[in-house]
Amino acid sequence: MSIIISILLFLITISILVAVHEWGHFIVARWCGVKTLRFSIGFGKIIWRKVTRSGLEIAVSTIPLGGYVKFLDENEAIVPLDQRRYAFNRQSVFKRIAIVLAGPLFNFLFAFFAFWLMLVIGSHHMKPIIAEVVPHSLAAKAGFLPQQRIVAINDTKVSSWQEIRLALYNRLAEDKPVLVSVQGPNDTAPRTILVDVSGVRLDEDNIDILEDFGVFPFVLDIPAVVDQVEPKSPAAAMGLKRGDKILSINGQAVANWQALLEQITSLGGQTVTLVILRHDTQESLTMTLGKRIDHQGEERGYLGIRAKALPLPKDLMVVKRYNPLAAIPKAAHETWRMTTLSVNLMYKMITAKIDLSGIAGPIGIAEGAGIVAHSGIAAYLSFLALISIGLGIVNILPIPVLDGGYLLYFLIEIARGRPLSDRAQLIGIKIGFAILLCLLLFASYNDIMRLLQ
């Protein structure tokens, strides 16, 4: 059932974002006096269509990975003499640029609207109170302590772990130290800690940046029961499964999840014996723990498992909600922040400073949609906004067949005083298709490898 929900949410998500993108092209084209022949959600064979009184064909096609708006254009078909003034190719280059840029622009506008609606509806977040500091971790060496509350990152107030994650990701993309303000339960005023996060990883094995940073949110007394097994981890290699309860490590009893983490951290790279309870039967597993090098060059162990989160008491939760007017600048700020963060991370990937295994394709988006489905409408709106921003950024890349590729053609036309030849444009389009196909295959490969693991 969860797979079906993920697929349905993926289709809904992509359809919404494609419709927004193509609506941008369509509406600006109308303002510029260009006639639109077809508005399609999806590519390939048309499976549903409707023709409006104005002659516009609205269609749904078989491949739900994009869409397109087909304009009247002499480069594609013969146009009657009395219709030529409505043809796309007959418009000034500046009108064509406006039409092309409208798609990505509407994606950013939609992201702003989704963030605004999320802020008005309100969302629940966990207060950023530290439950545990991993021994020998970056946070431990910087001086963080349990029960402290993180109140600001670089003088920007934070009230939830999500805001802290985003701030850390942003600093990670910029390779700059982080100034963290913390306040203990008995402190009269916050104190600041300068932390160098340049060594924090960002790849497929680092699912949560807080884990590599070395702090864990305040949680309940969680039993040492496996809920998730990370791909390519020692736990996956030795066959640990969801539902397994870890009773002891090397004969030492494991009281709860926190005790399990403490033992694993101190045994990096060592061969250990785990006694687990699986389907009411005790089993013994021998495995070699993984090890990660922290920012001081010291090793710390990891197993590659995650616990199931339990409901938190209300006093550990905070509800963030704004009135419609106050939410406008907040939504604008959030849109700008997530756009700059996405651009920074994309630059890091292009320059090979971040592992490309983090690139997700359709399956990854479907998984994300399925996860946020259980977190409420606010989480789904945030998810929509993030994907919309990513779609807008990707579409303005100077790759032929994308909007940015056509923008590049138009800029060259302005510089040359005449358009590129049909042959040159066709060669560029073929190269663009090849690049996009390679990216899609690579992203799908990452998705499949995550599923297989």
Rounded to a whole number, what is the largest CA-CA distance in the chain? 88
How far apart are the C-alpha atoms of 391 and 327, rounded to whole Å?
A: 24
H/E run at residue 292:
strand 290-293
Rg (CA), the chain: 26
Q: Burial-class residue 315 by CB neighbours within 10 Å (0-12, 13-18, 19+).
A: exposed
- CB atoms closer than 10 angstroms to residue 252: 10
- Tell me how far apart the terminal alpha carbons of the chain are, to the nearest angstrom: 21
∠ CA 408-410-414, rounded to 5°: 115
Number of separate helices (H) and strands (E) present in the chain: 12, 18
With beta carbons less than 8 A apart as the criterion, state whether 250 and 240 touch: no
Q: What is the chain's percent helix, strand, coil content, to nearest 5?
A: 45, 20, 30
| 3 state DSSP class of 259 | helix
Please state, as a whole number, how many other Cβ atoms lie within 10 Å of the Cβ of residue 415. Answer: 8
Burial class (CB in 10 A: 0-12, 13-18, 19+), 330: middle
State whether residue 79 is helix, strand or coil: coil
Q: What is the DSSP string of 263-289?
A: HHHTTTT-EEEEEEEETTEEEEEEEEP
Residues 59 and 78: their CA atoms lie apart, in Å, by 22
Annotated active-site residue 367? The verdict is no
> CB neighbours (10 Å) of residue 356?
13
How would DSSP label each residue in 356-417?
A: GGG---HHHHHHHHHHHTTS-HHHHHHHHHHHHHHHHHHHTSS-TTSHHHHHHHHHHHHHHS
**CA distances, 47 to each of 42, 63, 70, 112, 398 (Å):** 10, 10, 17, 32, 31
Of 63, 82, 68, the closest CA to residue 37 belongs to 68
Among the options 22, 132, 204, 334, which is catalytic? Answer: 22
Q: Please answer whether residues 354 and 202 qualify as being in contact, where contact means their C-beta atoms are separated by less than 8 angstroms.
A: yes
- Give the three-class secondary structure for 51: strand
Q: Please give the positions annotated as active site.
A: 22
